[in-house]
Amino acid sequence: MTSIEPLSGSSSIIDILDPADDRIAAFRDVRERDLTRSGQFIAEGAVVLDQILASRRFRPVSLLVLRERLDGLSARLSALPAYVPIYRAEREVFDRIAGFPVHRGVMALAEPVLASGEADVEAALEATLESRGNIVVACGLSNHDNMGAIFRNAAAFGAGAVILDERACDPLYRKAIRVSVGTVFTVPFVRWGSAAEIAERLSSMGYECLALTPNAADALRDIRDIRPRALFLGAEGDGLEDSVMSRCRPVRIEMAPGLDSLNVATSAALVLHHLAFPARS
Amino acid sequence: MTSIEPLSGSSSIIDILDPADDRIAAFRDVRERDLTRSGQFIAEGAVVLDQILASRRFRPVSLLVLRERLDGLSARLSALPAYVPIYRAEREVFDRIAGFPVHRGVMALAEPVLASGEADVEAALEATLESRGNIVVACGLSNHDNMGAIFRNAAAFGAGAVILDERACDPLYRKAIRVSVGTVFTVPFVRWGSAAEIAERLSSMGYECLALTPNAADALRDIRDIRPRALFLGAEGDGLEDSVMSRCRPVRIEMAPGLDSLNVATSAALVLHHLAFPARS
């Protein structure tokens, strides 16, 4: 009972009438699933899909699209490679597949093109050193909203790469992808070892490692020279271990008296903006 | 079957054994409820409770506390006024009351002390003018996470008040309170009319109205003088209407080429930090 019709481009559109259809198994109960073991992941929304198509590190495997959204997406969809099937479903079937009412109406199953992003990141780190730019190191962050927001801010202020320590959560988790507005697909990232090892390695490459701490002598606006820097971010609450802090230059974000409460991704935005666009003197 | 025992301070602890108990009706199915019509609201967590106790605009009506959390909270709870009952429940009853598994283990039903925050805000606006400080105007924002984050950032960087236009969502909504880390109780706020009327009124008081737009001639770092300012924030996507923009000085946040994507609360943090702590020259 499935009709298949060619798109104006090259992919085929396949109607899905049964939520139990095996071909859309990856999209089923998407909130409960963790596909990360297979290396594949689900991305939602047209903007995020654009970022996957713009990335050379990830590729779409298949799409699930709400029937009524198909026309609005046709320009994007005709840019898809021919091997990517587009599954189309009515709202009722779509929501039953996803397991909740989906607003965006387009989901992509995607996967990394390279087994590891290591080479890509090495190139990004070299380029960032060369241009005296900045990178971000996310240590022990367990909140996917914060992880996504860190990528969004890294992209906004041109950070060259994001390095994850062994404990940081997965940027390709559904919620992180959504909050990042798809920038997890365009900002190169890689997972290295412990935060202290990362600080060691980046320092030896020529990066100045920065860490935020309310008691630092230097405020953000005291940092006025331009050089390659790595901003270390710890989990809200726990912060960074001493073994990492001792390898970093401490810096503080000035706040109203009596307050020391700022979201970790917001802190990253303040530092990255300042480093990328220092005040004119 | 209810035991009542006095706390070391003055409030009484009342055991709740039945989720259907009328005395905790306000806490029932808290995710689905909208108490705003009654003016009361539910706040979760110890940090948020502290903010309510520190505020002179809000007061606790009653508390619901998980039995196992009671000891850890005793210092706070003994500071409660005697008229505030503390309802205590075992985890199973607590979760059934709330309608979902509650992590924080303390919820407060609270209400405004003043019928309107108008007088409080007027005083805050006067003080801010005097000190050449900054305020925030939230226009048409419908996302409670963003609203909460705007308050958190307003508090962090010492903004004197938040003005809401007629369309902005309620800062006392459960999720906004949580994301604000309780700063909705300490940063004075009030709802006025349309965004354009607010701009008119604040300008006539002596505030320079600022609005973010990617095409502005002035970047944030070009603003170097100190004067009372009102930062107008529009909803992500829609932005501010022309009738508001025309009353504001446009300013842009510099970003990496090709990108113009920043969360509205993060944008507010960047501007408020810059205005409060301008770069040293």
Span B269-281, average pLDDT = 86
- Write out pLDDT tens, residues A226-267: 999 999 999 877 789 999 999 999 999 999 987 768 999 999
Residue B123 pLDDT greater than 70, yes or no: yes
The DSSP secondary-structure symbol of A11 reads P
Q: Which of A181, A257, A277 sits opposite B254 (nearest CB)?
A: A277
- Minimal-distance CA residue of chain A relative to B151: A262
**Is the complex ipTM more than 0.90?**
no
Q: At A37, is the pLDDT very low, low, confident or very high (cuts 50, 70, 90)? A: low
* Cβ separation A266–B262 shorter than 8 A: no
Q: At B30, is the pLDDT very low, low, confident or very high (cuts 50, 70, 90)? A: confident
* Cβ separation B221–A256 shorter than 8 A: no
Q: Which of B256, B262, B263 sits opposite A158 (nearest CB)?
A: B256
- Residue showing tokens 């990066």: A207
Residue B154 pLDDT greater than 80, yes or no: yes
* Cβ separation B256–A156 shorter than 8 A: yes
Q: At A115, is the pLDDT very low, low, confident or very high (cuts 50, 70, 90)? A: low
Span A16-23, average pLDDT = 92
Q: Which residues of B touch A222 (CB under 8 A)?
A: 280
Q: Which residues of B touch A261 (CB under 8 A)?
A: 152, 155-156, 181, 183
What percent of chain A clears pLDDT 90, i.e. is strictly above it? 59
Q: Which residues of A touch B (CB under 8 A)?
A: 149, 152-153, 155-158, 181, 183, 219-222, 224, 253-257, 259, 261-263, 265-266, 269-270, 273, 276-281
Identify the pLDDT of residue A43. 86
Q: Which residues of A touch B253 (CB under 8 A)?
A: 273
Please check whether residue B114 is in contact with residue B143, taking contact to mean a CB–CB distance below 8 angstroms: no
Best residue in B104, B187, B226, B259 for a mutation probing chain A (most A CBs within 10 Å): B259
Q: At B230, is the pLDDT very low, low, confident or very high (cuts 50, 70, 90)? A: very high
CA separation, residue B16 to residues A16, B27, B51, B96 (Å) = 50, 12, 26, 12
Best residue in A144, A259, A281 for a mutation probing chain B (most B CBs within 10 Å): A259
CA separation, residue A56 to residues A60, A74, A105, A112, B101 (Å) = 11, 22, 24, 9, 41
Please check whether residue A24 is in contact with residue A64, taking contact to mean a CB–CB distance below 8 angstroms: yes
Q: Which residues of B touch A273 (CB under 8 A)?
A: 253-254, 270
Which domains can be identified in chain B, with CATH numbers? 4-112 (3.30.1330.30), 118-276 (3.40.1280.10)
Q: Which residues of B touch A275 (CB under 8 A)?
A: none
* Cβ separation A149–B181 shorter than 8 A: no
Span A39-56, average pLDDT = 84
Interhelix angle B264-276/B144-156, rounded to 10 degrees, is 10
Tokens linked to A104: 């965006």
Residues 6+ apart with CB under 8 A from A242: none
The DSSP secondary-structure symbol of B159 reads -
> What's the angle, vertex CA A200, arms to CA A198 and CA A202, rounded to 5?
65
Residue A1 pLDDT greater than 50, yes or no: no
Tokens linked to B121: 């805000």
Q: At B211, is the pLDDT very low, low, confident or very high (cuts 50, 70, 90)? A: very high
Q: Could you list the beta-strand ranges (E) of chain A.
A: 4-6, 12-15, 41-44, 58-66, 86-89, 106-112, 134-138, 162-164, 189-191, 208-212, 229-233, 249-251
Bridge pairing between strands A106-112 and A58-66: antiparallel
Q: Which of A155, A224, A273 sits opposite B259 (nearest CB)?
A: A155
Q: Which residues of A touch B152 (CB under 8 A)?
A: 261-263
Tokens linked to A112: 């990394």
Q: Which of A152, A273, A278 sits opposite B270 (nearest CB)?
A: A273
- Minimal-distance CA residue of chain B relative to A154: B256
Span A161-168, average pLDDT = 96
Span B81-95, average pLDDT = 91
Please check whether residue A143 is in contact with residue A114, taking contact to mean a CB–CB distance below 8 angstroms: no
Q: Which residues of A touch B254 (CB under 8 A)?
A: 273, 276-277
Which comes out higher in pLDDT, residue B129 or B81? B129
Instruction: State chain A's mean pLDDT as an integer.
Output: 88
Residue A103 pLDDT greater than 80, yes or no: no
Residue B115 pLDDT greater than 90, yes or no: no
Range among B10-19, B53-62, B132-141 rated most confident: B132-141
